[in-house]
Amino acid sequence: MKKGTLRQILLITDGCSNQGEDPAAMAALAREQGITVNVIGVLDHFDAEDSRGLQEVESIAQAGGGISQIVQTRQLAQTVQMVTKQAMTQTIKGVINQELQGILGETGTVEDLPPEKRGKVMEIVDELGETVDLDVCILVDTSASMKTKLPTVREALMDMTLSLSARMGRNNYCLYLFPGKRKAVTRVVSWSPNLDSIERAFEKIGTHGVTPTGPAIKEATKSFGQIARRKMLFQDDEAYDDGPRF
């Protein structure tokens, strides 16, 4: 398999969207373009109100071909990095499964191999997970109910970059917050190899009553177009490899 770039949207939210397009449909659209949508639901207590949020979290991830995880605020740090990595493994496994089906016929997947062979395949999956390049567009719900959780979200994101930067492959991040000031979403960090600049990103957030999750996913999907164009643009620029993108 050619070593390519994995593209993910990481959505961190606590609940129910109430504006714009259907978020699950937007996630499915992202998936069609080769982007996996993972969702972390930050729900501190489960009551009737939360159960709709829970459903939404699951359905977005399912439609987006990604992983969903419900957490309490204090477990956020470990979960964010785990979900991102697990989703990478899942995507790589998916690709390998496709290749295997070509060899083993319709029903052949990694899981159907005897343990010894599966072990070998998993080593390859591991190796790829270590070395592929990864683009993550982070999408954080900053609606009123998320306000108190934002410092923890910020920490969790820093923690994620710590885990990912230990890999051999390259990483690229961008960060969008929603709802934005006048638009549905605001981009606060554009594509860059690290997230050092998010320290203050969460400070100047006003509170809004709306949660336009669908439009946010759509916008995030578009952001990959920007990075793709940029890659083409700088393709034969050697310095591009090490330096920041901007």
Partner 1 sequence: MTGQDFNFYPGTRIIGKWHRKQYELIRKIGSGAQGTVYLAVSDGKKMAIKLARDRASLIAEVNVLKQFEQLQSNPLGPSLYDNDDWLYGGETIGFCAMEYLKGTPASEALRKRSFDWTIVFLVQLLNQLKKLHESGYIFADLKPENLIIIDPGHQIRCVDFGGATKIGRSVREYTEFYDRGYWGMGTRKAEPSYDLFACAMILIDAATGGRFERSGYPQDQLLRKVKEASRLVPYQSIIFKALSGRYASAEEMRQALVSQAMERQQPSTQMRRRGVSATAKSKTNDGWVSAWLAASIMLTIYIVCVLVYTM
Chain contacts with partner 1 (rule: CB under 8 A): 77-78, 85, 89, 111, 114-116, 118-119, 122-123, 125-126, 130, 159, 162-168
Residue 105 or 114: the one with the smaller Cβ distance to partner 1 is 114
Nearer to partner 1, 19 or 90 (CB): 90
- State the Cα–Cα distance between residues 150 and 217, nearest whole angstrom: 19
Instruction: Tell me the closest approach of the beta carbon of residue 105 to partner 1, in angstroms.
Output: 19
Minimum distance, C-beta of residue 227 to partner 1, in the bound complex (Å)? 22
Report in angstroms how near the CB of residue 95 gets to partner 1 at its nearest. Answer: 15
Cβ proximity to partner 1, 78 vs 190, nearer residue: 78
Six-digit token string for 170: 């390259």
d(CA 195, CA 160): 10
* Closer by beta carbon to partner 1, 3 or else 181: 3
Number of H helices, E strands in the chain: 6, 6
Provide the minimum distance between the beta carbon of 111 and partner 1 in the complex, in angstroms, as a whole number.
Answer: 7
Single out the residue of 38, 93, 29, 24 nearest to residue 67, CA to CA: 38
For the sheet containing 65-71, what is the strand order? 65-71, 36-42, 5-13, 133-141, 171-178, 186-192
Least Å distance, CB 129 to partner 1, is 9
Nearer Cβ to partner 1 (81/223): 81
C-alpha to C-alpha distance for 204 and 225, rounded to whole angstroms = 27
